[in-house]
Amino acid sequence: MKNATNDNAASAYADQELLRSVEQSGAGFRVASTLLLLVLLAGWLLFSRQLLYGMGVTGLNQPVVWGFYIVNFVFFIGISHAGTLISAILRLSNAEWRRPITRMAEVITVVVLAIGGFHPVLDLGRPDRMLNIFTAGRLQSPLLWDVSSITAYFMASTVYLYIPMIPDIALLRDRGTWPHWFYTFLAWGWQGTPRQRKVLDRAVGIMMVLVIPVAISVHTVISYIFAMTLQPGWHSTIFGPYFVVGAIFSGIAALLVVMIVLRRIYHLERYLKQVHFDHLSKLLLVMSLLWFYFTFSEYLTAFFGHEPTEMRVFFHKFLGPYAIFFWGMVACNFLIPVGILSFRRTRTIPGILVASCAVVVGMWLERLNIVVPSLANPRLPYPTGFYFPSLVEWAMFAGGIATFILGFVVFARFFPLISIWEIREGREHSIPETTERLQGYLPDPEPGGTPVSAGR
């Protein structure tokens, strides 16, 4: 059965290499997934204390009623914008360099969205009453907007991940890879007929357009949870776009980290080349500048208005107990990435890794800076609050990260991390198509005159 479907030597070699993670998984997969499951299990064990005794086992308190769970909720959902949005925009704009990247980006979205979307449930005092949201839901509440929009995004991005995977799943089915029934079921009878290809193209085309507004709505609505209240530091009109920019920013950084790590582990150096990192890191640089612009506008307006309640939050961040996190955020989100990515000499893969890790940390700090200081400085300033997360909250944070890695380990065990058919399509069709497209950009030949191409 092996090699039965390969057309020529070049693509046969390519298939082998990209299928290695699926067909030759060994001890590495088992060890990694066991370790990650243990971390997750430890998190849940500690979390069971919260279910038994109540929210008191967290570090939350009277003014600071939201902490790590909400910070991580916003953070993880932000990371999820890596995927689908980047991949959809690159597909939509016909960026040919997207081909080896889109699949990984979409996996990030689905995995992280599942993690992030679960966090508000961890934060409930009565998780047993969670379904009240559906039986007694109030559509006027921004939390309900969130539930709807995250659900829609999860659906859309799962479908958007799955549809372009069908030809690759069919390839695995045809090669008889274990578990055969699994691939047969998921391949949905794909034979690669021209009609099926047309339908696939249509479906991907519809999904990529559909997914963009949904993705933007998700993070806008998350910002609305904060912005719709009257609290100082939260009640701001630019929160919607500010959160979306931050989400795309952290998403690209997470994507770069994932690409660099997976490239190393699964030896994808031939596919993920300097040019891909270069393009993506320029995008990261642009987002970093845009993020700084939003942050600057946000804090300058607060400072210039000088409302006393706003200023308490402002100084809590700038000079107070949160100064280390605030300035750490500015360093991680602006100074480090701009310093590294602006120069070609430092825009190497290790440099990009450092910058992206800094941005991921910095964006987490940003979420912390948004959630906690505003709650810690309420209008009636007694009691003012401090917040230090408890072991349970740290454990669930570690569990979230472990789930993220586990998601990739399991995905790579069963599916190729790079879209094989899209790479092949790129090899076979893109060059003539791109040439034709480029020629379409050039001026038309003069009417009646000698055609330009005649002189060639």
Choice between 60 and 88, CB closer to other proteins: 60
> Residue 90 — φ and ψ, nearest 5°?
-65, -40
Give the interface with other proteins as residue ranges (CB under 8 A): 53-56, 59-66, 120, 123-127, 129-130, 132-133, 136-138, 140-144, 147, 225, 228-231, 375, 378-380, 382-383, 385-386
Burial grade of 176 (CB within 10 A; 0-12, 13-18, 19 or more): exposed
CB of 11 to other proteins, least distance (A): 52
CB of 298 to other proteins, least distance (A): 19
C-alpha to C-alpha distance for 299 and 232, rounded to whole angstroms: 12
Choice between 144 and 401, CB closer to other proteins: 144
**Residue 164: partners with Cβ closer than 8 Å, 6 or more residues away:** 102, 103, 106, 200, 204, 419, 422
C-alpha to C-alpha distance for 434 and 438, rounded to whole angstroms: 6
Place of tokens 């088992």: 30
Burial grade of 447 (CB within 10 A; 0-12, 13-18, 19 or more): exposed
Choice between 25 and 148, CB closer to other proteins: 148
CB of 239 to other proteins, least distance (A): 14
Q: Kindly state the DSSP code that residue 430 receives in the 8-state scheme.
A: I
Q: Are 340 and 351 in contact (CB under 8 A)?
A: yes
Choice between 15 and 393, CB closer to other proteins: 393
CB of 70 to other proteins, least distance (A): 9
CB of 57 to other proteins, least distance (A): 9
CA distances from 74 to 80, 196, 370 (A): 10, 39, 10
Choice between 73 and 271, CB closer to other proteins: 73
Choice between 137 and 320, CB closer to other proteins: 137
Q: Side chain identity at 396, as an amino acid letter?
A: M
